[in-house]
Amino acid sequence: MTDTAVRVRGLRKRYGDVDAVKGVDLDIRRGEVFALLGPNGAGKSTTVEILEGHRQRTAGEVSVLGADPAKAGRGWRARIGIVPQTSNEDPQLTVREMVRHFAAYYPRPRDPDEVIEAVGLAEQATRRVGRLSGGQRRRVDVALGIIGRPELLFLDEPTTGFDPDARRRFWDLIQGLAGDGTTILLTTHYLDEAEALADRVGVIAAGRVVAVDTPGRLGGRATASARVSWRGPEGPQRIDTDSPTQVVAELSQRFGGEVPELTVTRPSLEDVYLSMIGATK
């Protein structure tokens, strides 16, 4: 068994005359949480759906858990879990009926009631899916994605429509799964989510991967110059510097103690991301 869960080389996808994915390379290790970021229409869902075996690629090599998703069979599907970007459950079934039924498809399912509890739907377990709120319905998707105890979990914008509390609980859930060794590939538009969950993030724009790194180092974030800002006698001041500690020490001397409204910041993941996306336009 290799320690690579996903290996992609030169992946291309054309829809008619639209080049959606133009040569993507990707390596995801077993047990890793990998976040795919990118603007609308960048090709995230297309890439993910090719890895799930839902779409056919135009060109390139793809290996997911050692198999080609375009040809893989039932045994392979039992090892992956899918939470699609959009979906519809049968509105007439209850949450529990639905989750129990899907559990029967898998050889080693998780306990349905535990899964319902884990996604925070215990109180709604006997309610029909059609009568859930949007965010609650989304949690059913997540439940169905993890019910089969997947080795590799695909999450395409899983937390869209979650309230802040539900999102935090979802993060805990994902961290728990990752702690148990589940490999996770997620796409998201929330940079805090990527930062909280991902071991590495890949930024994809216009069908190409423009950067892959840990959230802390992406785009030279760790070594980027820091910004020191404060309020001086003539108004708000700021300096971009590579030695913020020294600047603060000097300021402290100048003000003879406390520096008014002092902050030291480095570019946030969002800053880095936005400048990266801006550069590809």
Partner 1 sequence: MTLALKLGLARGALELKTFVREREAVVFSFGLPIVLLLIFGTIFEGEVGDTGVDFRQYFAAGIIAGGIMSTTFISLGISIANERDDGTLKRLYGTPMPRASYFIGKTVSALVLSVAETAVLFAVGGALLGLEPPATPQRWFTFGWVFVLGVAACTLLGIAVSSVPRSGRSAAAVLNLPYLVLQFISGVFFVFGDLPSGVQQVGALFPLKWMCQGLRSALLPDVLLAAEPARSWEHGRIALVLAAWCIGGLVLCLTTFRWKRRHER
Ligand X SMILES: Nc1ncnc2c1ncn2[C@@H]1O[C@H](COP(=O)(O)OP(=O)(O)OP(=O)(O)O)[C@@H](O)[C@H]1O
Binding status of residue 20 toward ligand X by CB under 6 A: yes
Residue with tokens 């890793």: 32
Which run of H or of E encompasses 240? strand 235-241
Binding status of residue 45 toward ligand X by CB under 6 A: yes
Binding status of residue 94 toward ligand X by CB under 6 A: no
* Residue 69 partner contact from Mg ion, ligand X, partner 1, none using kind-dependent CB cut-offs of 5 to 8 Å: none
Binding test (CB under 8 A) with partner 1, winner from 77, 137, 138, 149: 77
Stretch touching ligand X by CB under 6 A, among 3-11, 38-46, 171-179, 192-200? 38-46
Pairing relationship of beta strands 80-83 and 152-156 according to DSSP bridges? parallel
Largest distance between two CA atoms of the chain: 72
Stretch touching partner 1 by CB under 8 A, among 52-60, 163-171, 224-232, 266-274? 52-60
d(CA 278, CA 272) in angstroms, rounded, equals: 10
Are 183 and 151 spatial neighbours (Cβ–Cβ below 8 Å)?
yes
All residues at 6 or more sequence positions from 255 whose CB lies less than 8 Å from its CB, including other chains = none
Are 38 and 188 spatial neighbours (Cβ–Cβ below 8 Å)?
no
Number of amino acids touching ligand X (CB under 6 A): 12
Stretch touching partner 1 by CB under 8 A, among 74-82, 175-183, 185-193, 262-270? 74-82
Question: Smallest distance, Å, CB 16 to ligand X?
Answer: 6
Binding status of residue 82 toward ligand X by CB under 6 A: no
Number of amino acids touching partner 1 (CB under 8 A): 30
d(CA 20, CA 250) in angstroms, rounded, equals: 52
Q: What is the pattern of x (binds partner 1, CB under 8 A) and - over residues 90-129?
A: x-xx---x---xx-xxxx--------------------x-
d(CA 191, CA 195) in angstroms, rounded, equals: 6
Binding status of residue 67 toward partner 1 by CB under 8 A: no
Question: Smallest distance, Å, CB 7 to Mg ion?
Answer: 22
| Amino acid at site 198 | A
Binding test (CB under 6 A) with ligand X, winner from 4, 58, 63, 85: 85
Burial group, residue 54, by CB count within 10 angstroms (0-12, 13-18, 19+): middle
Helix axes 134-146 and 164-179, enclosed angle (nearest 10): 0
Give the residue with the Cβ less far from ligand X, 35 or 103.
35
Binding status of residue 44 toward ligand X by CB under 6 A: yes
Any alpha helices (H) in the chain, and if so which ranges?
44-52, 74-77, 95-103, 112-118, 134-146, 164-179, 191-197, 244-255, 269-280
Tokens, residue 247? 């600047």
Question: Smallest distance, Å, CB 276 to partner 1?
Answer: 30
Binding test (CB under 6 A) with ligand X, winner from 2, 9, 10, 18: 18
Contacts to ligand X by CB under 6 A: 15, 18, 20, 38, 40-46, 85
Contacts to partner 1 by CB under 8 A: 15, 52-56, 74-75, 77-78, 80, 82, 84, 86-90, 92-93, 97, 101-102, 104-107, 128, 144, 148
